[in-house]
Chains A and B, each alone.
Chain A
Amino acid sequence: MMGDSFKKVYNWLDERIGLKPIEELAKHKEVPVHRYSFWYYFGGMTLFLFSVQVITGMILLLYYRPSAGTAYESVRFITTQVHFGWLIRSIHSWSANLMVGALFVHMFSVYLLKSYRRPREITWLTGVLLLFVTLGFGFTGYLLPWNKLSFFATKVGTDIAGSIPIIGNTILVFLRGGKEVTGATLTRLFGFHVMVLPLTIFLILGIHLYLIQKHGMALPVREARKEKEGEKIRTIPFLPNFLYRDAIGWILVLGILVFLASVFPWELGEKADPLASAPAGIRPEWYFMFMFQTLKLIPSKVLFIEGELLGILGFTFGGLILFFVPFLDRKSNKLEENRLFTILGVLVILYMIVLTVWGYAV
């Protein structure tokens, strides 16, 4: 009987919005099983953490007040007075970090498995854009509690952007909403954080997810070659087998989030004082650390170029390479192993890890 009425509702909806194709897609979606299948989970993990961000972010907005005089106090109010405010705020902070972490793992696994190759070039491009937008979220969100550390980290971060020749100053003024980091910067970054970036990310994420459904899960080069040679690759259905596995990962991460938020609550620190001198050991968020440390290590002058500029140019160049990888790697498209790109990727990962650890050790 229950089944009957469910069917009725389903048919009614199907007639109007078309549920059948979605059902078909879900039914037939298969996930290949091979030695690298584990890495498939990280895309979904990033998406899950993103949802956590959306939910916690939305409700934090109910109490947050974006101005220099009120931001710190309102976050304090959230963590001390609002029911579960400490939890929600802490989860938002921790989840942001775990999300960036999951995103990095996702991206590097896709890179090393060369899943960006034809016909998934656009999926990769949107993915890289999602990375940039996510880092933008991190950068803009960091300032919002308006505490000492975030204030000076933002100052240093925007200063670095300001040292780009010709357009640097324009970027700096654009980011800061003036020449200095002030309340105007806070309001501006808040606007980016809750309006501009979310709309952007939803648009790009929509394309990204659509393309994944369209092309299905990518195979590593070796598996793809086997498939081409007529070998059958073992798969499991996405529904429910893979989704269940995904769900296990999600709730475990949820558990980790709750644990981190309860046992290591995200500190609020001291209120920012624009007139105070910069505290020792200003650090950006960990995912910017390798760039920060690189800029610190480059000598002030390399040949005739300024060191900082050289670093920025290097990272811009690296970002462009990352973006255009699908068009640079021609071997993978022909299902040949591209050792050069694999080694390059591993080197970049090692570089990032070493510099990050170095940055924290010093």
Chain B
Amino acid sequence: MQSNRIRLGIVMKKIDWIIGIIAITAVLFVGSAFGKTDYCIQCHSEMDDSPKSPAVLIKSDIHYQRGLSCADCHGGDASKNDAEEAMSPKKGFVGKPSYRQIPNFCGRCHSDVEYMRKYEPKLRVDQLQLYWTSNHGKMLKKGDRRVAQCVSCHGVHNIKSIKNPQSPVNKINVPATCAKCHADKKYMHKYNIPTDQYAKYSRSVHGKLLLEKRDTSAPACNSCHGNHGATPPGLASISAACGECHGINRDLYNKSPHKEPWAELGYRQCVQCHDYHLIKELTDEDVGVGNNAVCIDCHDKGDGGYEAAFRIKASLDSLKYDIRIADSILAKAKKSGADVGELTFELGEASKGLIEARNRVHSFSPDVVGEVTSASMQKINIVIELGNDSLKALWHRKIGLILTSFLILLVAGLLYLKIRRVEKKK
């Protein structure tokens, strides 16, 4: 019995051994099937400092993950264990490209439609072409080695997909990546352009949305400037850039009385009022003829624009006033226990007129704005009326309560008298 058990134990151990051997063979086999040893990575891993770093970084590189390795960019023969042989120019070894060579270095593959199709058919192949149109590209061609090229933004050896949140060119990281150079006063000194874009952008509506609320529908630098073809939008294309998202406002502006005179005067369309980089969330106070209004920068009392600004502001204000009134009535009714869900819905719908009216300010036409504000106000007046009705109904409830309480106290008192009467009789 016992010997049986021991024998069983020996058999089990043998089985363990066999499994182990099979596993090791399998690993070796699979290893060799997936590619021979990459001697670039192997040797560089054993080095120190800068020669070592590419071998480490490449593990998290998108190219490496898609099956490409050192030799696919740098040339040479990765299957040779001998440095000289592996990095022989005869084997196509190009080594480290110079700063100015990098765009074309990457472009060898990234501009090759056929090649790129094998890896990511959706990826565009015009980056290089665009790059040479950008200010960066133009200056690089002239020999400036301080301007950005591919690796300045994408990183090197550990290049990540832009969808990867750790990529320096992932949408949320783009502003900080651009700021690396553009916010550096010393670095930008020579170019004589401002360095406060990033600071301004982070305080702008867009920056707050993207950087604080992580809302990727908000624009980053490249959304307006383009990415590979980065260049400041020209005067005429400002409204086109903003209009990518704010199409309504662009269309309204293009039809507005400002368009032509502003173009003649060299005014900068959207940016004239909203500023750039520090895109201000303009409030209703910026409209009209008040002290803070931007309209009075140009318009003086007596001219048509002054009057128009005044009327536009008046339309907005009266709509807002009505909304406030309706709000307070509904709040009061709700506090007193009436159900105002329906009216709150109606008010919410009507209040959207305010958003539209604010959009329509860009028509700079009091009639266009007034059309939507008066329509909304009509709806809101109905809400106010119904809200007042429900307040009145609440008043009826209170009267009912008072009368009932009175009646109840009366009957209770009478019953008390009745008891006294009945018990006195005894």
Q: Do A and B bind each other?
A: yes
A residues whose Cβ falls under 8 Å from a Cβ of B:
76, 79-80, 86-87, 236, 240-241, 244-245, 247-248, 251-252, 254-255, 258-259, 262-265, 268
Closest to B397 in A: A262
Among B337, B341, B404, B412, point to the contact of A258 (Cβ < 8 A): B404
Chain B residues in the interface with A (C-beta under 8 A): 337, 339, 341-342, 397-398, 400-401, 404-405, 408-409, 411-412, 415-416, 418-419, 422-423
Contact B408 A265 (CB under 8 A): no
Q: Is the pair B405, A240 in contact by a Cβ cutoff of 8 Å?
A: no
Which chain B residues lie closer than 8 Å to A86 at the CB level?
337, 339, 397
B405 touches A247 (CB 8 A): no
Q: Which of A240, A251, A265 contacts B337 (CB 8 A)?
A: A265
Residues of B within 8 A of A263 (CB): 337, 401
The 5 A-B pairs of least Cβ separation, nearest first, read A265-B337, A255-B408, A80-B339, A262-B401, A244-B419
* In-complex Cβ contact of A255 among B337, B342, B404 (8 A): B404
A87, A244, A247, A264 — most chain B CB neighbours (10 Å): A244
Contact B411 A251 (CB under 8 A): yes
Q: Which residue of A lies closest to B406 (CB)?
A: A255
* Residue of B412, B422, B423 touching A248 (CB-CB under 8 A): B412
How far in angstroms is the closest Cβ of chain B from A269? 12
Which residues of the partner chain A approach B398 to less than 8 Å between Cβ atoms? 262
Contacts of A268 in B (CB 8 A): 339
Expressed in whole angstroms, the Cα–Cα distance for A90 and B415 within the complex equals: 27
The answer to whether A258 touches B419, judged by C-beta atoms less than 8 angstroms apart, is no
A236 to B423, CA, bound (A): 9
Chain B: CB-nearest residue to A242 = B419
Docked complex Cα distance between A265 and B401 (Å): 13
Contact assessment for A76 and B339 in the assembled complex, using a CB-CB cutoff below 8 Å: yes
Chain B nearest CB: distance from A72 CB in Å? 11
* Count of A-B contacts judged by CB separation below 8 Å: 53
The answer, among B401, B408, B409, B422, for a CB contact under 8 Å with A241, is B422
Does B415 contact A244, Cβ atoms closer than 8 Å? yes
Closest to A85 in B: B339
A45–chain B nearest beta-carbon distance, Å? 14
Query: Is the pair B412, A259 in contact by a Cβ cutoff of 8 Å?
Result: no
Kindly report which residue of chain B lies nearest to residue A262, judged by CB atoms: B401
25 A-B pairs within 8 Å (CB atoms) are namely: A76-B341, A79-B339, A80-B339, A80-B341, A80-B342, A86-B397, A87-B397, A236-B423, A241-B419, A244-B415, A248-B415, A251-B408, A251-B415, A252-B408, A252-B412, A254-B408, A255-B404, A258-B405, A262-B337, A262-B397, A262-B398, A262-B401, A263-B337, A263-B401, A268-B339
* B412–A244 CB distance below 8 A: no
Chain B residues within 8 Å of A252, by CB: 408, 412
CB distance from A238 to the nearest CB of B (A): 12
CA of A87 to CA of B394, assembled, Å: 12
Complex CA distance for A255 and B412, rounded to whole angstroms: 10
Known: A79-B339, A251-B411, A252-B412. A259 touches B405 (CB 8 A): yes
Q: How far is the CB of B424 from chain A (nearest CB, A)?
A: 11
A208 smallest CB distance to B (angstroms): 26
Q: In the complex the two chains form, what is the Cα distance from A262 to B405 in whole Å?
A: 11
CB distance from A131 to the nearest CB of B (A): 29
Cα distance, A201 to B129, chains bound together (Å): 86
Q: Once the chains bind, are A247 and B408 in contact (CB under 8 Å)?
A: no
Does A248 lie within 8 Å of B416, measured CB to CB?
yes
Report how far A263 CA is from B402 CA in the complex, Å: 11
7 A-B pairs besides A236-B423, A248-B415 with CB distance below 8 A are A86-B339, A87-B397, A245-B419, A251-B415, A259-B401, A262-B400, A263-B401
| Minimum distance in angstroms from B400 CB to a CB of chain A | 8
